[in-house]
Structure 1
Amino acid sequence: MRKGIIRPLAICIFQKGDSILVSEGIDPKTGNYFYRPVGGGIEYGERSSDAVIREVKEEIGADICHLKLLGTLENIFTYDGDLGHEIVQVYAADFIDSSYYNLSIFKGKEDNGIEFDVMWKPLSDFQKESRLVPEGLFELLKSKVSKLSS
């Protein structure tokens, strides 16, 4: 995270029943767990829709279709003791290879080669004990998650 920089991101919501696909993260400073959809940074000169397609392919090796913009969030947060600021384009999509919907948990990979867990988690979990990031995503999805496939 670079200080003083607002980072543009694109993330993708995949829906299976009442669950969404998320990766698990932990703040090294606080030890608090959080969950975030697959996605990442938008590169200079790249459209957010192209970024989300690229990021999903890079992180989990999947091709996607039926891309739909759900909304934009501004996220100001603290991670590892540092202040972060993001503008996040939130998309919904479907996997071309339907076998991803049959995996309960699998591995994704960051640009630096570090692996992370990717799992289906019921949206209702984020109403109680689990934290969904970026902030405001749960509220955005509450109104749209049943409509994602339409």
Structure 2
Amino acid sequence: MQPNVIRPIAICVFQHNGRILVAEGYDPLKRQTFYRPLGGAIEFGEYSADTIARELTEELGAAVVDLRYLGALENVFTFDGRPGHEIVMIYDGAFADRALYDQAAIDGVEDSGHPFRAVWVSLADSLDPAAPPVYPTGLLELLAL
């Protein structure tokens, strides 16, 4: 994260049997696990839908089909003690390879080379205040529409 810069990102919500696919994250300062749908930074000159296709190919080697724009959220947050600000373009989509829906966890690698794990979490369970938060803030409400 660059300080004092608003970062445009695009994420994709993959839904299956009342669950969504999210990357697991951890904030060491807050000692908190959190979840966020997959996606990443929109590059200059790139449409946000193209960002989804590029990011999922780079990080998981997976093709995405049936992208549908859901809306945008503004995400102002603190991670590891540093402030962040994102404009998040949100899409619904599907994997071309249906076998990915049967995997409990999918291992991926970010552009930086940092490995991550994506897991399927229950939308209903995510509403429990004791559950790890799903970011960006407002996403679960947007999905309920």
Q: Distance in 2 between matches of 1:125 and 1:117?
A: 19
Distance 1:37 1:61 in 2: 16
Counterpart residue identity of residue 132, structure 1: V
Instruction: Write out per-residue CA displacement over residues 24-72 of structure 1, whole angstroms, 9 at most, x where no aligned residue.
Output: 0001211111000010000011110101111111111100110000010
Moved more, 78-87 or 109-118: 109-118
Structure 2 unmatched runs, 5+: none
State how far apart, in whole Å, the 2-side matches of 1:70 and 1:54 are: 19
Unaligned runs of at least 5 residues, structure 1: 144-150
Instruction: Read off the aligned partner of 1:108 and give its amino acid letter.
Output: G
Match of 1:138 in 2: 140
Question: Which runs of structure 1 show a deviation greater than 2 angstroms over 4 or more consecutive aligned residues?
Answer: none
Check whether the contact 2:32–2:132 (CA below 8 A) recurs between aligned residues: no
Q: TM-score, normalised by structure 1?
A: 0.93
1:28 is matched with 28
TM-score, reference length from structure 2: 0.96
Question: Does the 8 Å contact 1:12/1:93 carry over to 2?
Answer: yes
Superposed CA RMSD: 0.8
The answer to whether the Cα contact below 8 Å between 1:38 and 1:59 also exists between their aligned partners in 2 is no
Aligned length: 143
| Residues 1:111 and 2:100 are matched in the alignment | no
Residues 3-34 of structure 1: CA deviation (Å, up to 9, x unaligned): 11000000001111100000100012111110
Q: Give the residue type in structure 1 aligned to 2:139.
A: L
Displacement of 1:105 = 0.8
| Residues in 2 aligned to 1:38 and 1:60: alpha-carbon distance in whole angstroms | 10
Q: Could you tell me which amino acid in structure 1 is paired with residue 53 of structure 2?
A: I
State the secondary structure of the residue aligned to 1:14.
Answer: strand
Q: Specify the SS of the correspondent of 2:29.
A: coil
